[in-house]
Amino acid sequence: MRLKLKNIFGLVLLVGGLLSISTLLHAQETATISGTVTDSSGAVVSNAKITIVRQSTGAITRSITTNSAGIYTAPDLAIGNYNVRAEAPGFTPFERDGVVLNVSSTVQTDIRLTVSSQLQQVVVEANPVEIQKETSDLSTLINSRQIDEIDTNGRSIFQLTELVPGASSNLPNFNNPVAENTTTTISFNGLSSGHNLYLLDGGEINDRGCGGCYAVTPSQNAISEVKVITGNSQADTGMASGGFIALSTKSGTRDFHGQAWEYNRNDAFDANDYFAKQSGTAKPELRYNIFGFNTGGPVVIPHVYGKERDRTFFFFNMEWRRLIQGNQIFATGIPGEEFNGNFGSNTITVPQTLDPAALARFASVGLTPGQPFPSNQIPSSLIDPNVALLLKSGIFPAANTPDGIHFSAAAPSVTNMREEVGRIDHRINDKLSLMTSFIYDSADLTSVPPGYGATYPTDGSLTDTPSYAVMVHLVDAISASLVNETAFNYSGNQIKVTPTGNFSLPAGYNAGSYYTGANTDNRIPDIILGQPYGVEYTVGANPWYNELNVFEVKDDLSWTHGRHNFRTGGSAMFIRKYQQFFGSTQGTYNFTGSFTGSWDSPPVTASSSRRHL
Instruction: Say how far apart CA 470 and CA 205 lie, in whole Å.
Output: 10
Pairing of strands 197-200, 244-249: parallel
180 neighbors 190 (Cβ within 8 angstroms): no
What lies within 8 Å, CB to CB, of 356 at 6+ separation is: none
Residue 6 phi/psi, 5-degree rounding, is -65, -40
Instruction: Say how far apart CA 555 and CA 570 lie, in whole Å.
Output: 6
Instruction: Say how far apart CA 368 and CA 359 lie, in whole Å.
Output: 8
> Where is the domain boundary, 125, 148, 175?
125
Identify the CA nearest to 440 among candidates 463, 467, 417: 467
Evaluate if pTM is beyond 0.75.
yes
Same-domain status, 28 and 121: yes
448, part of any domain: yes
* Type and span of the H or E element at 527: strand 526-529
Buried residues in 160-178 as b, exposed as e (16+ CB within 10 A): bbeebeebebebeebbbbb
Buried residues in 40-79 as b, exposed as e (16+ CB within 10 A): eeeebbeebbbbbbbbbbebebbbbbbbeebbbbbbbbbb
**Number of Cβ atoms within 10 Å of the Cβ of 251:** 22
Same-domain status, 204 and 287: no
398, part of any domain: no
Instruction: Say how far apart CA 57 and CA 53 lie, in whole Å.
Output: 8
115 neighbors 39 (Cβ within 8 angstroms): yes
Prior bond of 543 cis (ω within 30°): yes
Same-domain status, 298 and 427: yes
Same-domain status, 420 and 555: yes
170 neighbors 186 (Cβ within 8 angstroms): yes
Same-domain status, 170 and 274: no
152 neighbors 290 (Cβ within 8 angstroms): no
What lies within 8 Å, CB to CB, of 596 at 6+ separation is: 348, 349, 350, 351
468, part of any domain: yes
* Type and span of the H or E element at 8: helix 2-21
pLDDT of residue 169: 84
Number of helices (H) and strands (E) in the chain: give both, helices first. 5, 34
Segment-wise mean pLDDT, segments of 10 residues, the chain, 613 residues: 41 41 49 89 89 87 89 89 90 88 86 73 57 70 89 87 88 84 86 88 86 88 91 74 89 92 89 74 83 95 87 96 88 84 86 88 90 90 89 88 84 92 93 94 91 86 94 92 93 93 91 76 88 87 92 92 86 91 84 65 40 43
Pairing of strands 482-501, 544-561: antiparallel
CATH number of 149's domain: 2.170.130.10
11, part of any domain: no
pLDDT of residue 6: 44
Residue 342 phi/psi, 5-degree rounding, is -100, 110
CA Rg, the chain, in Å? 33
183, part of any domain: yes
* Type and span of the H or E element at 188: strand 186-188
Same-domain status, 462 and 548: yes
pLDDT of residue 21: 38
Measured in whole angstroms, the distance separating CA 433 from the mean position of its chain's CA atoms is: 29
* 159 to 58, 170, 243, 272, 472: CA distances (angstroms): 34, 11, 14, 28, 27
The secondary structure of 423-447 as a DSSP string is: EEEEE-SSSEEEEEEEEEEEEEEEE
Same-domain status, 160 and 288: no
pLDDT of residue 25: 43
Sheet holding 60-65, edge to edge: 60-65, 49-54, 80-87, 94-101, 122-125
pLDDT of residue 42: 87
| E strand segments, 27-93 | 31-39, 49-54, 60-65, 71-77, 80-87
Same-domain status, 89 and 188: no
* 358 to 220, 340, 354, 372, 390: CA distances (angstroms): 66, 20, 8, 16, 21
Identify the CA nearest to 332 among candidates 452, 455, 450, 451: 455
Prior bond of 374 cis (ω within 30°): no
188 is in which domain, residue-wise?
138-249
pLDDT of residue 11: 40
Instruction: Say how far apart CA 249 and CA 293 lie, in whole Å.
Output: 15
404, part of any domain: no
Same-domain status, 480 and 585: yes
Residues belonging to the chain: 613
5, part of any domain: no
Same-domain status, 423 and 561: yes
Same-domain status, 285 and 361: no
Same-domain status, 467 and 597: yes
* 284 to 182, 326, 346, 458: CA distances (angstroms): 22, 5, 34, 17
Instruction: Outline where 203-304 has alpha helix (H).
Output: 274-279
> Where is the domain boundary, 125, 147, 166?
125
How many structural domains does the chain have? Answer: 4
Assign 122 to helix, strand or coil: strand
Instruction: Say how far apart CA 150 and CA 250 lie, in whole Å.
Output: 18
Pairing of strands 31-39, 106-108: parallel
CATH number of 109's domain: 2.60.40.10
> Where is the domain boundary, 225, 249, 273?
249
pLDDT of residue 269: 84
389, part of any domain: no
